[in-house]
Structure formats: structure tokens, C-alpha cells
Chains A and B, each alone.
Chain A
Amino acid sequence: MLNYDIVVIGGGPAGMAAALKAKECGVDSILILERAETLGGILEQCIHTGFGLHYFGEELSGPEYADRFISLVDEQKIEYKTDTMALEITENNVVYAVNKTDGLLEIQSKAVILAMGCRERPRGALNIAGSRASGVMSAGTAQKYVNIDGYMPGKKVVILGSGDIGLIMARRMTLEGAEVKVVCELMPYSSGLTRNIVQCLDDFNIPLRLSCTVIGIHGKDRVEGVTIANVDENRRPIPGTEEYIECDTLLLSVGLIPENELTRAVGIELDPVTSGAVVDENRETSHNGVFACGNVLHVHDLVDYVTLESQTAGEGAARYVLGGNNEPEYITTKGVNGVRYIVPQKVNIKNDGDVKLYFRVGQVYKNAKTVVKYNGEEIISKKRPRLAPGEMESVIIKNDMLKGFAEGGIIEISVEE
């Protein structure tokens, strides 16, 4: 059995930032487990730029952003094992993992940081009718084929879903000589970042069809075309609007799901809206000493926010390991009236810093207000010219405000038009 103070599961941006912060806070015995061949996570295949604007004040590519952290991990001599898959976390924070060189690893840790990221929703989850021909894949899988393996997964492409990966891949496939015929979005708005719609679609004259979906996939062996149709306000296809589009590839960018199989197996409480763990402001889960951060906790739109959140988790895990946590007194947070979720879901009012609450709205709002209430009483209000589901919002609860709260209180955030 190996022994570490902190085991970090996942060596992407979340895991690396959490490990570095924990190290900075004085924990030396840290091990990162990464299932891919290298550290860096999904950033390694995101060769476009746009990363780091908030955190570094520079525009970096995904691998460049990851490299800065990989270098720091090396500099700080934080141990890591790549090509290593965590299989199980036990009640007592023993982590079982496996790789080719060590075989089955049994690692006793004081704290565990979950940073496994997320996966893409597959076709099956959408139940799109038609054939099961080759040529239907998630946008992220296509991104790997193009950017890592160097092969084109198709030439005439339809993309379903205007999430950021879908938008990025529309541009990427176009630059590689493919014809992207249309990007269809089920909702009346795109869930991608505005800058990606402009830079990846508008600049390349790729049409974005809102309130539109793919209702049929055609082709025996390889996709030969898809049928798209407009949808009504209940997202049901409108008869008579069907349109056949010839293509050899359908890329899906229809949502991301936090990968919480390990989390679920150890019995950690999950938030049904985020599909991630329920956490406090240190990102500690319902299981003592287990923390979560990054896309495994809730899906972020910018890696910069992943980094910041993971530093919070790293600091929390370090404090847990080094001792000094007092008995917490929690208040809970709750998104209402247009706010889908808030992370963290609970806050320890004995915390001695400010607490930043991240939240997401359920639809597009123009000239609205976000209102924070404590036990029904308005405490903060912010005017927002535009709110969209694709862009995460945040609000800071100052420590002096926190000190005035009492255990069991409720913070609610809502949208008011």
C-alpha cells in the first residue's frame, strides 16, 4: 500500500491547479493520477486559442495553457502517474488504480481531490432515429482524430448542437478543407460563447439554425445524409419543415456530463442539476476529505475558471490535511427563478474569507438583474445587460456579510427582468 497526503484523480487543468495549490499551502506528499498518456487533459487536443485571457491575461492555445501547469508540476516535483486509471475510492479514502507498470495500485490518502472532468453526451442519449452508419461521432472525438491523430473524420459535415466544442470544430473542419453545411441548435439560442459564434461560424459563413434538430440519419455503411427539421417551443419537430442534407458526417455537440462514476460509487451526494457533487466553499463533498473541482463538479465554459476553482479545492484539501478546520456551520444556496444552479451548494459561515458563488441561468435574458437574497431579504443586486446559459455568472459574498448569517440560513439567487 502506498501512502500520500493527497491523491488527485485527473491530471487536467483542474487536477494540476489543485495539486499545485495544495503544495503551495504546505502539503508535500501529493500524487496525481492521470488516465491519458500525458498530463493536460482535454486541453491537449484544443489547439485553438482563447485560453488564459482571464487567468494569464494572454491568449494561449490549449496545449500552451496546459504546459504552463505541467512545467510547474515538474518544477514543484509533484509526483504523477500517467496512463493510470483510478478504479475505486473506498470509504476510508483508499484509492485503487491500475496501470501497465505498477499493476494494481492501492493508495491510502488523507484527502482525495476529484478532477476527472466530463464526457460528451452520445447519440444514444438523444435517441435520433435512422441508421447506425459510421460517421456519427461527438465533436470532441472528431477533434481528437483531427488534432492528435491527424486524420479527417469526414468531408461534408453537419453539426448538431452549438456548444463550444461544436463551434470550434465547425471552424477546424473548415480550415482542414471539409464543408460544414450547417450547425443545428435545438434551443432558440446557442449555448456556446458569443466570441465562438462570431469567430467560428460567422467568419466562415457557416449557417447556424436555431430551434432546429436532426431527426433522421441516413446511409447504410457510412452516413449519406441527415434530415433536419425545425422544432416548436416544446422542442418537438414541426411536420412539414423537414429538410434532407447530404453529408458524410454528423458531429454531435449536445452537452457535457461530469464523469462521476467514482463519486457515485463511494456514495457521495450529487446535485441532480449539475450532475456533480454537492460541495461547500472549499469544494469538499459530503464525504470527509474528498474534494471536487473543475468539470467533474460542474461544466465550465472557460478553463480559467476551472483553474481558480481548483485552487480553492487544493487549498481546502491542504487545510484538511494540515488540520485547523473548525466545526462548520452551514448555510445552503439555492438557484430560483431562472437560476439553474449555484456552486457551492453550501457555505460554512465560520469561513474567514470572502466566498464566490458561481451560477448559471436557464435561458437568455436581456437587461435583467441578478438578485441575491438571504432568508428572503435582498442583500446584493447586479444589473446585467445580457445573461445566457452558456456564460457562467458569479457573485462574491463578502466575509463581513457572511459573519452576519446564522447556521441553517438560505441564500437564493434569482433573475429579475
Chain B
Amino acid sequence: MNYDVAVIGAGVIGSLIARELSRYDVSVALVEKCNDMAMATSKANSAIVHAGFDAKPGSMKAKMNVEGTALMPALCKDLSVPFKPVGSLVVAFSDEEMVTLHELLERGKGNGVPGLEIYDVEKLREEEPFISEEAKGALWAPSAGIVCPYELTIAAVENAVVNGTEFIRNFEVNKIDFADGIFTLSNGESEINAKYVVNAAGVFCDEIAALIGDDSICTMPRKGEYMLCDKSIGHLANHTIFQCPSKMGKGILVTPTVDGNLLIGPSALDIEDKTDVTTTAGTLADVLTAAKRSVPCLTTREVITSFAGLRAHCTRDDFIIEPSEKNAQFINVAGIESPGLSSAPAIGLYVKDMLIKELGAAEKADFKSEREEPVRFRHMSNEERKAIIAKNPAYGRIICRCETITEGEILDAIHAPAGARDVDGVKRRTRAGMGRCQGGFCGSKVVELLARELGVEINEITKCGGNSKILYDRTK
């Protein structure tokens, strides 16, 4: 197949680039090696939209962060993705850290961050009643917020597909040829041709760049482990609570999520293996200890799951968003670690501008900027529920008891543009299996629905693609 642009990697970055390109009269392939979008860093991060006071003034990180954060609320509205402008607090626990807060304040002003303010301890306690006795004050950033990163990615892909982008899953690019001004991407079985390639492969950006002989990128995965707590303790943080940043990152945070859970983490450990997203007992214990420094009453009792994600840290220590030195038609979008999610909307625009200038394409007249809001039965009033079941009885059958997710919502997720193909895909789109029982009851029903709708046997359904099969052979 021939395209104007092939975007490699359907994380939040690649997906928003594809979505921005889909406004224009260009053909775009979004190429993903997994069975679904948002399968790596985009599904396992802090889900924070940072205000932008951390990054070094003048860096790409600073520019993209502040611009991206400003774009985020409207983008989320267009894509029907939950965004909550909860604001963030960096808490100081000593007089030295209070000095750091003032430095962050000044840096933030320089980066153009709006509304920054230093809170004294009384004001801080008013905002966060469960904050530690040790806290001395905090830096308040009203423009920070929280968003669901995989929902944003899914929505971006759906919207891109509706506007003509081709989403190609399970295509692991392992060879790139360039001849007559055209790239040929191969996975060993089939090929994709494109005039331009965007390398948005996250921690694998260096390996993808190396396929065209570009060895300038060195990605070092930096693992972060998290714990997600039950909604029953969601009230322990009203805002995203940071501690003072260190060389390894922004430290351990305690934050509400858009779904009302409480998230704590991440640790920061440089590792070798780019696929290692295992959690370790020792690190999780350290995360809790560190989080308790901010909110002492946290315990593991309310933890419903833990997970790890990899930050795509690059040795250059800034975002790399530029054409490769080896080939100007190959755009590297590498080293997108924190604040990558916050920056994603701006990066999407920035890369789109680069490409559209080259391609000289015109805007489509029929671009649909809005993604239709998925049915969310749990958020409906009884009147709305009656109406929707009358329209489609599948919304009257509850599949996930903990989160009140209906069969209708699961069918919608499967049949959406770039719809779910596995159990985790249904889970990320609908929340079925994300509640207290973690899929104990609904898991098998989701498997049944996937098999029925995709027309396969139930033992062909996977948890998350690849060899993640759930069932083996029939019983005796």
C-alpha cells in the first residue's frame, strides 16, 4: 500500500500526529506493532497534564509542554475524553525545598506558565486536608490537570480513522528501504510504502532510526512503577501532589485519576530491557513509603492493581522532534518522556506543520474534528438509561458489575473505528474489568462477546494480543 505518510507507533504521540494529519488531504498509515494502540508508555504513566514549570527554559520540553497543556482541554472536549483541571501542588518539606519552590515559580514564569502561586502551609492544608504534618508549603499550578492517557490515544486514533487514516495493527517494522524518494516499511511479510516516515516508536525510536542508518538516537528506558487504589480513598488527594523534583524526574506523586481512583508512583530506574514492565515488591514498597511522605495515611489495603511503564529517556535530555540527519523525509519524534503526555497535542501540531509544509496539502472540507461521545451507562440518569435501552436493549445487560458496564458499551468498543480486538482493549475502552474484582466475573463474558462479534472461537481471544491467550483446548 502507498501512503504519503507512515507514522510508526500508535502511542499518544503517533496517534495525535496522525489525527492532526487527517485534517489534510494526505494519506496516512498509523503503523503499530501491537494488537491495539496505547500499548506501552501511553497506557502506563502518571496521567498528568503538567503546568510546565519543570522544563529548562528554551528547551523543546518547555515549549511543547506549555503549548500542549493549553491545547489539552479543547482537544479532550473535541475527542470526548475526560479531562479534569484539578491543578497541581509541589509540596516542600523543608526550608531548602521552599527555596526550590521559588526557583520553580521563577522558571515557570519564564516558561509562560499561568497562575503560579506559592501556598503557605495553612492554605495547603485547606486544599489538601490529608497532607503530611511535615509539609511547609507548596507551589500551586492551576493550569495542570489530569487526563486518561490511553483514552486520549484511543480517541485520537478513532478520530483519525474516521477521517481517513489507516490504522495497521500487528505490523512490527523491522526493515526500511528507501528508493526513488519512497520508503518501504517491511515486517518480513508485507510492505507499506510512504513518502514520509514519522518515527514515534517510543522507547524503540533508536531501533527504528537505526533501520535507515541513523544512529544519533540513544533511548534508555527508565522504568516507573505505580499502584492504583480503590475509589473509596479517591478523596485523599484533591489535586496532583508532587514532591520537589530530582535529577531522575518529578518524584513520587499522589494524584486523583479522572475515574476517581487514586494513583501513586512512579519510581524511576534506568533499565536495559525495553520490554520489561514487571513490578518488583521492593520498588512498590519504596513507592508507598515515598508517597506516605506526602499523604501519611496511605496503605496498601486499598491497592487494586500495580503496574509499570517505561519512559523513553534519551541521552540528549530533551525532546527530539526533527528530520533525521540521514534522510530529511524521516522525522524523528524521540525522547518523549515526561512531560510527553502534556506536550502531545502540541507535538501533533508541530509535526503536522513540518509535513504539510513539505507535502503542500490542503485542508479537507469534510474533516470531522469531534469524536462522538461513547455511551457511558454508569454516568446516565435513569431517564437517559430508559431511553437508551429502548433504543438498543444491549444497554440493558450489565456485563461488568463493579463498574456498571453494559453489553452495549462493549459491542460499541468492538465495533468502533479501530475497535477492540482483545480483553484489555475492551477494558481500556469501557472500563469493564477495571473495578474491584479486576475482571473476575466479567472477564469470561467479555471473552464470549469478543469471540461472538469477531466470529472466532473463544480460545482464540487474547488478553492483549500476541501469545497472551486466555484459554487452551476444550476440556475432555
Contact = CB atoms under 8 A, between A and B. Distances in A.
A130 B278 CA distance: 4
A120 B472 contact: no
A104 B277 contact: no
Interface in A80-118: 83, 85, 87, 96, 98-104, 106
Nearest to A175: B476
B440 A120 contact: yes
B162 interface: no
B396 A98 contact: yes
Interface string A115-130: 0000110111101011
Given A149-B444, A150-B475, A103 B467 contact: no
A28 to B, nearest CB: 28
A220 B275 CA distance: 8
Given A99-B397, A104-B389, A127 B280 contact: no
Given A104-B386, A127-B227, A134-B468, A150 B443 contact: no
A154 B472 CA distance: 6
A146 B475 contact: yes
Contacts of A176: 475-476
Given A87-B404, A119-B441, A123-B438, A98 B385 contact: yes
B389 A124 contact: no
A130 B279 contact: yes
Interface in A120-148: 120, 122-125, 127, 129-135, 137-138, 140-141, 144-146, 148
B100 interface: no
A153 B472 contact: yes
Contact of B472 (A85, A124, A137, A151): A151
A129 B281 contact: yes
Contact of A127 (B300, B465, B469): B300
Given A124-B305, A176-B476, A104 B382 contact: yes
A148 B443 CA distance: 14
A149 B458 contact: yes
B472 A215 contact: no
Interface size class of B (residues with CB under 8 A): 35 or more
Contact of B440 (A83, A119, A150, A215): A119
B247 interface: no
Contacts of A220: 275, 466-467
A222 B404 CA distance: 28
Contacts of A98: 385, 389, 396-398
A257 B385 CA distance: 29
A141 B281 contact: no
B459 A151 contact: yes
Interface size class of A (residues with CB under 8 A): 35 or more
B439 to A, nearest CB: 8
Contact of B475 (A130, A151, A261): A151
Interface in A162-189: 176-177
A73 B441 CA distance: 25
B278 A131 contact: yes
A35 B472 contact: no
Nearest to B389: A103
B463 interface: yes
Given A129-B278, A151-B459, A144 B444 contact: yes
A340 B424 CA distance: 38
A216 B385 CA distance: 43
Q: Specify which of A35, A100, A152, A155 lies most central, judged by the most chain B CB atoms within 10 Å of its CB.
A: A100
A122 B402 CA distance: 13
Nearest to A224: B467
Contacts of B233: none
A74 interface: no
B199 interface: no
B354 interface: no
Contacts of A417: none
Contacts of B401: 35, 85, 259
Given A129-B278, A131-B277, A96 B303 contact: no
A100 B394 contact: yes
Interface string B270-292: 00000101111100100000000
A233 interface: no
A130 B227 CA distance: 13
B367 interface: no
A221 interface: yes
A150 B468 contact: no
Contacts of A141: 439-441, 443-444
A100 B399 CA distance: 12
Contacts of B459: 151
A220 B466 CA distance: 10
Q: Specify which of A129, A144, A217, A257 lies most central, judged by the most chain B CB atoms within 10 Å of its CB.
A: A129
Interface in B425-457: 436-441, 443-444, 448
A124 B468 contact: no
Interface string B251-280: 000000000000000000000000101111
Given A125-B304, A129-B280, A153-B471, A221 B466 contact: yes
Contacts of A145: 444, 471
B398 A35 contact: yes
A257 B467 CA distance: 32
Contacts of B470: 134-135, 153
Contacts of B227: 127
A83 B406 CA distance: 12
Contacts of A148: 444
A122 B141 CA distance: 37
A132 B230 CA distance: 19
Contacts of A131: 277-278
Interface string B380-393: 00100110011001
A361 B53 CA distance: 56
Contacts of A138: 440
A151 to B, nearest CB: 4
B80 interface: no
A98 B463 CA distance: 29
B397 A83 contact: yes
Contact of A140 (B279, B306, B396, B440): B440
Nearest to B408: A100
Given A124-B306, A127-B303, A151-B473, A100 B397 contact: yes
Nearest to B390: A103
Given A149-B471, A150-B474, 5 more contacts: A100-B397, A122-B438, A127-B300, A140-B440, A153-B470
14 contacts: A87-B398, A87-B404, A103-B389, A104-B385, A122-B304, A131-B278, A141-B440, A149-B444, A149-B448, A151-B474, A152-B474, A215-B281, A221-B466, A261-B402
